[in-house]
Amino acid sequence: MTLLDIQLIDALCDAKDLRPIFEHKLKRVAGDKKNKLLVDIKSAESILEKVARKNISPEAMGDVLRAAILVHHTQPIEKVVRRIKKAFTVIKIEYKDGSGENPYKGAYHIDVLILNMRCEIQVMPRTMWVYKETAHESYKAGNPGSSRDLFARALLLRAIKQKSYKTKKYKWSNYEK
């Protein structure tokens, strides 16, 4: 067994142990039942791929245990962010303002501590999650073009899939391919 194997097992075990605490706090933070909460542990394959791509250890990753709060269009995102600040030890808050190459205007990526583990919470409008799927798959596939181009492709696919969007289930597994 290599050091990487041990680090991977440790990270996954920590995430599994801390998930109930993380999820319990997130349910209170998400608030309105119209908001959708997703909590997930990154797959071993995805961790190893990121370790290789970014040359970091699994322990250094901030998204092994992760969550997304998909905010209903009638709810203010900032209200959810304020509740996160009160409920968690916040390490970093990054607001995606849509400048430069970043297409995720209006989303927040928040790194928090749960005991000794760094976790990520993404807060965004529900519709942005659907766009993110296509942009992320294109990014991972190494397709050329800026993030804005990928986002435009995602919008186009969203328009094509308009009918299926209404019944689409929001799950991490849909976007981990």
Per-residue pLDDT at 123: 93
Instruction: Determine what percent of the chain is predicted with pLDDT higher than 70.
Output: 68
Q: Closest by alpha carbon to 128, among 31, 36, 61?
A: 36
pLDDT band of 165, cuts 50, 70, 90? very low
Burial (CB < 10 A; 0-12, 13-18, 19+), residue 1, is exposed
CB of 101 within 8 A of CB of 139? no
Strands 65-71 and 117-125: parallel
- 20 CB contacts (<8 Å, ≥6 apart)? none
Per-residue pLDDT at 159: 55
Pairwise CA distance, residues 133 & 135, whole Å: 6
Q: What is the pLDDT of residues 12-44, one digit of tens each?
A: 999 999 999 999 999 999 987 888 999 999 999
Please check the confidence at residue 166 and state whether its pLDDT lies above 60.
Answer: no
Pairwise CA distance, residues 48 & 135, whole Å: 21
Please check the confidence at residue 126 and state whether its pLDDT lies above 60.
Answer: yes
Mean pLDDT for all residues in the chain = 79
Neighbours of 70 (CB within 10 A): 20
**Domains of the chain by range and CATH?**
3-125 (3.30.460.10)
pLDDT band of 92, cuts 50, 70, 90? very high
